[in-house]
Amino acid sequence: MSETPQKNSITHEELISDIEGFNSLAKILLERTGIYMDSSDKNFSLMSNRMHRVLRKHDCSSYKDFIKLIESGVADIMNEFLEVLTTNTTHFFRENEHFTFLKKTLSIIEKDLEKEKRNEIRVWCAAASTGEEPYTILMTILEYLGNYPKLSIKMHATDLNTQVLEKAKLGIYRPEISENITPDLLLKYFDKDLKTQNYQVKEKFRSMIEFSKFNLRNETYSFPYKFDVIFCRNVMIYFTQNVVEETILKLSGCLSKKGYLFIGHSEAMIGDKHKLKSVIPAVYQHMT
């Protein structure tokens, strides 16, 4: 009886030492997402850790074999590569001073919308990951609006990674989120599974957010209207300076005249083509 063929058993050590293959994949990643991975021991290890399982899954014995799959146009290979290499570290109320500022600023936004005779606040979370940030934004706005809101909410949440978007749509989180969310908000916005102790965002709140795939490297950002609030935090830190400048310029073009752009505290604004001014650290508006 013949033995079942074994998949190629490429090791982490072999991948880490494959500098040429790393550089080729890093170039593809940069071109498709704007994420830059320099040739460092840290990134050699990161690439190996993320790609090892993928290579074994597709019976590839090297990065070169996987690159051939990408170039051959095999369905979903490129998406799988991009999804496994994008980092998704997030939690509820991360960099909480931004949400404190947003809540204080909503009264100003509301007055501006009244002048425009518009009763809809428009929000875009451009790096939604597994949903913690967009749901935090939603809770912040709803808490301001109270039980009898004058405004409705139009909210988009996007990410390049379709796997994390599916998790965001489900809105199921581990019990540890109680460390970052107050008991009253947990009770109001989440259902608790008594068996697993997990929390799930209540359906009526999940339905208030439109989740969809979006690549910040798109040549143009096409939306039917401008946004009053844009969050694009902790993703541009992985971009080159030129890509950061291009991204900020396109984000500013999606911002309403008096809207607010939130970026990560560790991210820097590059260039002056965007014509934005700092309001507080990592929050910007159009110059008037």
Half-sphere exposure of residue 120, counting CA atoms within 13 Å on the CB side? 8
Tens of pLDDT, residues 84-99 = 887 667 899 999 999 9
Topology of domain 12-85, CATH: Chemotaxis Receptor Methyltransferase Cher; domain 1 (1.10.155)
Selecting among 18, 38, 41, 50, the annotated active-site residue is 50
d(CA 201, CA 95): 21
Selecting among 122, 159, 206, 228, the annotated active-site residue is 159
Tens of pLDDT, residues 148-182 = 678 899 999 999 888 899 999 999 999 999 999 99
Sequence-distant (≥ 6) Cβ neighbours of residue 139 within 8 angstroms: 185, 189, 205
Q: Which residue has the tokens 């991210």?
A: 267
Residue type, 1: M
**Helix pair angle (77-85, 63-72), 10° resolution:** 130
Tens of pLDDT, residues 202-230 = 999 999 999 999 999 898 999 999 999 99
Q: Indicate the DSSP class of residue 120.
A: E
**Predicted structure pTM score:** 0.84
In this structure, what token pair is assigned to residue 281? 């650290």
d(CA 244, CA 271): 9
Q: Indicate the DSSP class of residue 74.
A: -
d(CA 138, CA 93): 11
CATH 3.40.50.150 residue ranges for the chain: 96-286
CATH 1.10.155 residue ranges for the chain: 12-85
User: Exposed, middle or buried by CB within 10 Å (0-12, 13-18, 19+), for 286?
Assistant: middle
d(CA 88, CA 233): 12
Sequence-distant (≥ 6) Cβ neighbours of residue 281 within 8 angstroms: 265
**Helix pair angle (77-85, 41-57), 10° resolution:** 140
What residue spans of the chain are helical by DSSP H?
12-16, 19-33, 41-57, 63-72, 77-85, 97-115, 132-145, 162-170, 183-189, 203-206, 241-253
Sequence-distant (≥ 6) Cβ neighbours of residue 104 within 8 angstroms: none
CATH dotted code for 96-286: 3.40.50.150
- DSSP-assigned letters across all residues of 188-206: HHEEE-TTT--EEE-HHHH
Q: Does the annotation mark 159 as catalytic?
A: yes
Q: Does the annotation mark 50 as catalytic?
A: yes
What does each of the 288 residues of the chain score in pLDDT, given as a tens digit? 444 444 557 788 889 989 999 999 999 998 888 788 888 888 898 889 889 989 988 888 899 999 999 998 776 888 889 888 876 678 999 999 999 999 999 999 999 999 999 999 999 999 999 999 999 999 999 999 987 678 899 999 999 888 899 999 999 999 999 999 999 999 999 999 999 999 999 999 999 999 999 999 898 999 999 999 999 998 888 888 888 889 999 999 999 999 999 998 877 665 566 689 999 989 999 987
